[in-house]
Amino acid sequence: MGFGDYPIEYNPNVHGPYDPARFYGKPDTPFGQVKLSELGSWLARRNKHPSAFAGAVSRAYWRWQHKYVQPKRAGIAPFLHVVFGSMAVFYVLNYGKLTRHRNYKYH
């Protein structure tokens, strides 16, 4: 599977038009329903190839797009998501410098 290809499991005669937010592989147990004892085997079953990570991020992005950006009467929520998300990202990036501004020596 190279760049720009569809997932291997995707078959247009079965699935219809391609939905970038959909996972076409065989679904595993959702993470929220995994028991702690099964967590190790659940993690071992994950596909850890970089393209799988990229696919997961892409699907999440498109899920967010379909839910907040693409609707007919979308509100201001997606813009604020971007604003607050970038705030958090840059706070993390600059955290090493920001800690210099601490006021108290002892907690």
Q: Is residue 10 part of the contact set for another protein (CB under 8 A)?
A: yes
Q: Is residue 74 part of the contact set for another protein (CB under 8 A)?
A: yes
Q: Is residue 93 part of the contact set for another protein (CB under 8 A)?
A: no
The letter for the amino acid at 65 is: Q
Residues in the chain: 107
Distance, in Å, from the CA atom of 43 to the CA atom of 95, rounded to the nearest integer, reads: 30
Q: Is residue 96 part of the contact set for another protein (CB under 8 A)?
A: no
Give me the numbers of helices (H) and strands (E) for the chain, helices first please: 5, 0
Distance, in Å, from the CA atom of 28 to the CA atom of 67, rounded to the nearest integer, reads: 23
- 3-class SS of residue 45: coil
Q: Is the CB of 11 or the CB of 47 nearer to another protein?
A: 11
Check residue 20 and report its DSSP letter.
T
CB of 5 to another protein, least distance (A): 5
Q: Is residue 33 part of the contact set for another protein (CB under 8 A)?
A: no
Residues contributing to the site for another protein (CB under 8 A): 1, 4-6, 8, 10-19, 66-68, 70-77, 80-81, 84, 87, 98-99, 101-104, 107
